[in-house]
Structure 1
Amino acid sequence: MRGIGKTTFAWKLFDDSLIVCQYDIRAWVTVSQEYQMREIFAGLLDSTNQLSSEIRKLSGGELADRLYKSLKGRKYIIVMDDVWDTKIVLTTRHKIVGDDAASFDHRHDMRPLDSGESWDLFRAKVFRGGYCPPRLEGIGLEIVKKCRGLPLSIVVIGSLLSMDKTVGYWETIVTALKSILSTDGGQCSTIFSLSYNYLPAHLKPCFLYFAIFPKDHAIRRSNLIHLWVAEGFIKPNGSKSLEDIAEECLEDLLNRSLIMVLKLGRDGKVKTYRIHDLLRDFCITEAKKEKFFHVTNKYSIPYEGIRSERRVSINPVSHLESIEHAFNSNGPPSTTRSLVLYDEDAEIIVSEPSFGLLRVLDMKGGKLLIEFPKEIALPPNFKFLAALKKLTLSHCGLGWKDLTMVGSLPNLEVLKLNDEACEGGVWEPNEGEFRMLKSLELNYLDLVEWRADDSHFPQLECLKIRDCWKLKEILTEIENIPTLEKIELEGECSSSAVAFAKLILDQQLSLGNDVLQVRIF
């Protein structure tokens, strides 16, 4: 049964102090119905803090070998979450291990919470201390009963009720629940629909957008914020930065139990989020109703109708030719404004008219093959991508010279280059490129020399570099960019790059510039 708390129960055991003390290594990976073995090995290594930028590039077999060597001779526990169908072959020289594995007496069957357990969870969520005032107890018990012992439903509805502890508000919720239940038999979807309807208008697109990522995907906070901003979901509010406003939106969704924290960074901030499968399914259904976005997968093969979708997310699929046809030159131009690609095997063929309105292109793996008339090679600029504001590239293997095409995009504000997006040791941008770029991220790249200065990125506000350990120094004379507010170095960065960043900070402080932030993790 979904939403019954299987993952939460397993995590509590996994993170219990007795388990932590008993095992040398603890590893956790989410498998799901559709999976790739390489990603499972990479996830296990990442879970044990062994996935460096160099290791990330290894093949599946090499990752498996490295995992085996790290576990050999040590006591370890591995949790594989959300496994659909599996066969396990176990070899051991110890009879007690074989007998123990063969018995299968350690199975724990999950069940819905009984009425007492449901009420305890509800009170803990709504009232923190667990005490429910008598005036609300009768209404509370009626609401809990409608959750039918599903912890996820109890937590979501409890978060909604915790925001206003008045009898009038709670009675309104009960009335709304009864109204939705009369037209929708799905218990969880009823609770989710109610919680969604009570979201402020500015939070609704932000919440639905979580489903644009693949099932069980670790959603990076920084990437999500950039996407929200590029999509126009985050509006200016006084003197607050757009990033701060987006952070407040994330905190609000977290407090409503609609999303979960998956991993914290070294600075204590949230690094990645996750959304429960049931909530993701609800978001996809709601997005389809509202024509907000279209998600493809092996069970949802797109046809001509995909051309009229405002936002398209391409998750791992099996019939890629349908997607290719959706964006080729046959038929009217596409109205798609956002394309998110999360399939390493996908090849998306598009023609020049297809992307006239595109503003957001976020690629993790896969290939984007662009067709031009008269067999013209790639042009010096993408005129048909003129509206593009945010671009993320991963595992594309471009040459650094190819970024000239990207640099010519007139409205590009955010550029993220991840995991072999570009190959080669030298990046030398041309003058006049990246005129409007505000945020630049370089993650897990082999870049050695970055031959550029302040004139190449005149509007840059934020520079983030992560695990680029070969890079000797960051942008020359970067301190002369008047708009610059933040420099971040994280993970495996060279000592010379770190020293250069510290020198810039010292110089700026001596000049009385306390606006520029330099953070090294």
Structure 2
Amino acid sequence: MLSKGKIPIAHEVIVGLDDEAAKVIDRLVSGSKQVEIVPIVGMAGLGKTTLAKKVYNDRSVICNFHIRLWYTVSQEFNMKNALLKNRYLVVFDDVWDIEVWNELRIAFPNDKNGSRIIFTSRFSNVASEVQYGGEPHYLHPLSEKESFELLLKKVFGKEDCPQGLRGIGMEIAKKCRGLPFAVVVVAGILATIEHDILVWEEFAESLTSTTVSGTDQWKKSLELSYEHLPYHLKACLLYFAAFREDEKIGAKNLMRLWIAEGFVKKIEGKRSEVIAEEYLMDLIGRNLVMASKSRSISGVKTCYIHDLIFEFCKAEAKEEKFLRVLQGYDELSTFIEPPNLPRLSICSNGEDFMKSKLFFLNLGNISLWLKELPTEVESLLCLRYLALTAWYMKFIPPSIAKLSHLETFCLVSGVTVSLPDSIWNMKNLRHVCLRGGVVIHLPSNNNVVENLSILPNLDALSTLHLDLDEEGENILRRIPNVRRLKIFQLGDENRVCCNMSRLECLESLTLRDDYFLGSREHVELSFPMNLRKLCLINLGLPGRKMSLIEQLPNLEVLKLRAQSMEGQKWELMEGGFPKLRVLTLEHAWIVEWTEADPDSDDYFPCLQQLKLSGIPNLEMMPACLGVISTLETITVNFCGDGVKSLVREIEEEQKNNGNENLKIIYKKY
């Protein structure tokens, strides 16, 4: 896993927008009570979306509006039903066509209570044609000083720029002609080359005035950045063209696709997933990919690319014959498959699929209702990535083992699916994800050699239906290197006895048991010492048995959900949770939550986030929460006034101890 120092920050570096933001905010929170539209207009890459985000998240704006909604429109727009009431702020980002507003305006009532709507658009005519529209707020290029400031922040972060580089840095910033997007892209290159005056001067010479000037300066900047990429990262970047514009892409799924495509180099003794994550972090570090959401344990959960980078990747992928993208019925119906087409991405709706005459498209649509695996799939002997939706598929045939190269198998089904014994022969399997649940049986031949009946490369498995007993323990023993595991426990509702300590590579574990009805006083669980994230759902673990978890030395995230802790009292053990950063406690009947020794400060030394939801009877919280210097946020949802009062006391004590930045969030849903 990546160190905390390498975790990307989702917040954007903003320079030169304070005055612009103040003007827009003033138009939002003051003025007429009539509903009003505030159009933000400017050329591509000038920072319209960045300004809108800054305004949208401003504290005065949050306090002024009961409802806030952000919707990215882009070039493809689909009507969405929405119910808005009270005073609302809605942001329509990247509007290309006035028809978007014409279709939606009836859904936005003018209740004369000061509601506001923000548009961002590259086109002045869109802003001028909008009813209720005020004067457009035009964005202007950055000054040379602001461009230089943005460049330094993106290259050096909080560190100072060496004095010898400031002069040449100013020259480079000037050549970006005030376009923030160009500055960010150029900074991505400078961050990856040696911070030496001669190296920077050589780069500045290659950055001619024509490279970053004129209406296509963003394109020229991207071409330059693309050429500076190592060969293995070029394919990873172009692959983003296979997704939809503005799509928030799941990082794990993206990296599995990279691995299946063969983009990720194989290094002895190093997992491919770790290498793929390094690739993603490299692209983020170069400002070509943005992290939209971070995982609770280090890394990126979702990511995206700027729409200008998306357009560049789509054009470059087509020119290099790397990837062909089809959108809409016109492109589907006229498509003729060229010879040796390596990749085809289809971004369209089901109606266009049905109209299409392409066999494989119709097959893909019909397979949504299949009850068994199509034989066409079984014949794809070199297949490495297989994802299906089949609501009624209950069994996977033994012939799936013919896919001996398969690495990722994902299936969305409405029922629990049974995997055949032959699954143990698929030694290349790395990720198995069956959302409806999966049952795996032990090999039918009990005399099989031990090392032939394991899946040595399996990295992630979910959601496994398993009895937490001796037989279940035997199955877990056959996936020794699994890192991420989700288990839905079946069997005796009062019996939990399972030794998981042998899973030495396991970092993330989710245990769920919806069949729990009684006491679990005799629960016997042992977890691996390397566990970093643990989520328990409806497990009913007695409070006195929480020491099983508190003593885990590397646990960073703990989520106790849906009555996962039984009883009304939880007493923290001294020295427990040495690395815990995130604690979530949901739907518990706990009344007293205390420390074993209130005078000790050896509790939660690393806690940053505390989330409380659906805990109506809580009357006592640990005193240590008022003095923990690392605490950043407390989120309260569906809790009584007593809990809110306790949290206010913690907030006050934190302030008395010098922590002015603690955020208390009260959610209403």
Matched, 1:458 2:462: no
1:213 to 243, 246, 266: 243
Residue of structure 2 equivalent to 1:2: 44
Residue of structure 2 equivalent to 1:112: 141
Report if the CA contact (8 A) 1:221-1:270 is conserved: yes
The CA distance in 2 between the partners of 1:178 and 1:106, in whole Å, is 37
Residue of structure 2 equivalent to 1:95: 112
1:79 to 91, 103, 116: 91
Q: Shift of the alpha carbon at 1:507?
A: 7.0
Give the structure with the higher percent strand: 2
Q: Which amino acid aligns with 2:343?
A: R
Report if the CA contact (8 A) 1:382-1:408 is conserved: no
Question: Which TM-score applies when normalising by structure 2?
Answer: 0.56
Residue of structure 2 equivalent to 1:126: 155
Matched, 1:484 2:481: yes
Relative to 1, partners in 2 of residues 1:431 and 1:21: Cα closer, same or farther, differing over 3 Å? same
Q: Shift of the alpha carbon at 1:187?
A: 1.1
Matched, 1:175 2:175: no
2:73 to 31, 34, 39: 31
Relative to 1, partners in 2 of residues 1:498 and 1:316: Cα closer, same or farther, differing over 3 Å? farther
Post-superposition Cα deviations, 1:47-87, rounded to whole Å, max 9, x if no partner, equal: xxxxxxxxxxxxxxxxx4xx63xx656x6544332233322
Residue correspondence of structure 1 range 255-270 to structure 2 within 5 A? 255-267=285-297, 269-270=299-300
SS of residue matched to 1:401: coil
The CA distance in 2 between the partners of 1:209 and 1:99, in whole Å, is 38
Larger Rg: 2
Residue of structure 2 equivalent to 1:438: 429
Q: Which amino acid aligns with 1:487?
A: R
Q: Which amino acid aligns with 1:10?
A: A
Q: Which amino acid aligns with 2:258?
A: W
Relative to 1, partners in 2 of residues 1:12 and 1:100: Cα closer, same or farther, differing over 3 Å? closer
Structure 2 runs not aligned, ≥5 long: 1-42, 119-130, 445-452, 505-524, 536-558, 560-669
Give the structure with the higher percent helix: 1
The CA distance in 2 between the partners of 1:225 and 1:322, in whole Å, is 33
Matched, 1:429 2:419: yes
Residue of structure 1 equivalent to 2:184: 155
Report if the CA contact (8 A) 2:297-2:533 is conserved: no
Matched, 1:313 2:345: yes
Residue of structure 2 equivalent to 1:401: 395
Relative to 1, partners in 2 of residues 1:261 and 1:497: Cα closer, same or farther, differing over 3 Å? farther
The CA distance in 2 between the partners of 1:193 and 1:307, in whole Å, is 28
Q: Shift of the alpha carbon at 1:231?
A: 0.9
The CA distance in 2 between the partners of 1:497 and 1:8, in whole Å, is 54
Relative to 1, partners in 2 of residues 1:454 and 1:484: Cα closer, same or farther, differing over 3 Å? farther
The CA distance in 1 between the partners of 2:478 and 2:72, in whole Å, is 43
SS of residue matched to 2:54: helix
Relative to 1, partners in 2 of residues 1:185 and 1:105: Cα closer, same or farther, differing over 3 Å? closer
1:186 to 216, 239, 244: 216
Residue of structure 1 equivalent to 2:307: 277
Q: Which amino acid aligns with 1:412?
A: L
Q: Which amino acid aligns with 1:5?
A: G
1:415 to 388, 393, 409: 409
Residue of structure 1 equivalent to 2:381: 386
Post-superposition Cα deviations, 1:148-187, rounded to whole Å, max 9, x if no partner, equal: 2211110110121133222222222233333974999831
Report if the CA contact (8 A) 1:408-1:433 is conserved: no
SS of residue matched to 2:406: coil
Q: Shift of the alpha carbon at 1:287?
A: 1.9
Residue correspondence of structure 1 range 247-396 to structure 2 within 5 A? 247-267=277-297, 269-298=299-328, 303-316=335-348, 324-325=357-358, 348-349=361-362, 366-367=365-366, 382-394=377-389, 396=390
Post-superposition Cα deviations, 1:365-393, rounded to whole Å, max 9, x if no partner, equal: 84569xxxxxxx97657453000011122
Q: Shift of the alpha carbon at 1:257?
A: 0.2
Residue of structure 1 equivalent to 2:626: none
The CA distance in 2 between the partners of 1:380 and 1:423, in whole Å, is 21
SS of residue matched to 1:248: helix
Relative to 1, partners in 2 of residues 1:79 and 1:129: Cα closer, same or farther, differing over 3 Å? same
Post-superposition Cα deviations, 1:402-460, rounded to whole Å, max 9, x if no partner, equal: 5666554232121122xxx2233x322222146325234436x444xx44224398316
The CA distance in 2 between the partners of 1:465 and 1:4, in whole Å, is 43
Q: Shift of the alpha carbon at 1:315?
A: 1.4
Query: Which stretch has the larger CA shift, 200-209 or 273-282?
Result: 200-209
Relative to 1, partners in 2 of residues 1:78 and 1:263: Cα closer, same or farther, differing over 3 Å? farther
Relative to 1, partners in 2 of residues 1:461 and 1:179: Cα closer, same or farther, differing over 3 Å? same
Q: Shift of the alpha carbon at 1:514?
A: 5.5
Report if the CA contact (8 A) 2:396-2:418 is conserved: no
What number of residue pairs does the alignment pair up?
438
Structure 1 runs not aligned, ≥5 long: 41-63, 329-346, 351-364, 370-376
Relative to 1, partners in 2 of residues 1:505 and 1:98: Cα closer, same or farther, differing over 3 Å? closer
- Provide the aligned C-alpha RMSD in A: 4.2
Report if the CA contact (8 A) 1:216-1:277 is conserved: yes
Relative to 1, partners in 2 of residues 1:167 and 1:381: Cα closer, same or farther, differing over 3 Å? same
Residue of structure 2 equivalent to 1:60: none
Q: Which amino acid aligns with 1:116?
A: K
Report if the CA contact (8 A) 1:473-1:500 is conserved: no
The CA distance in 2 between the partners of 1:500 and 1:201, in whole Å, is 54
Q: Which amino acid aligns with 2:404?
A: P
Q: Which amino acid aligns with 1:139?
A: I
Relative to 1, partners in 2 of residues 1:180 and 1:285: Cα closer, same or farther, differing over 3 Å? farther
SS of residue matched to 1:271: strand
Relative to 1, partners in 2 of residues 1:323 and 1:177: Cα closer, same or farther, differing over 3 Å? farther
Report if the CA contact (8 A) 1:295-1:314 is conserved: yes
The CA distance in 1 between the partners of 2:310 and 2:177, in whole Å, is 20
SS of residue matched to 2:252: helix
Residue of structure 2 equivalent to 1:12: 54
The CA distance in 2 between the partners of 1:380 and 1:219, in whole Å, is 30
Residue of structure 1 equivalent to 2:165: 136
Q: Shift of the alpha carbon at 1:506?
A: 5.1
SS of residue matched to 1:31: strand
The CA distance in 2 between the partners of 1:435 and 1:99, in whole Å, is 60
SS of residue matched to 1:423: coil
Q: Which amino acid aligns with 1:30?
A: T
Residue of structure 2 equivalent to 1:374: none
Q: Shift of the alpha carbon at 1:320?
A: 5.2
SS of residue matched to 2:187: helix
Report if the CA contact (8 A) 1:26-1:78 is conserved: yes
Q: Shift of the alpha carbon at 1:348?
A: 1.0
SS of residue matched to 1:416: strand
The CA distance in 1 between the partners of 2:91 and 2:47, in whole Å, is 15
Q: Shift of the alpha carbon at 1:143?
A: 2.4
Relative to 1, partners in 2 of residues 1:142 and 1:461: Cα closer, same or farther, differing over 3 Å? same
Q: Shift of the alpha carbon at 1:240?
A: 2.1
SS of residue matched to 2:425: coil
SS of residue matched to 1:291: coil
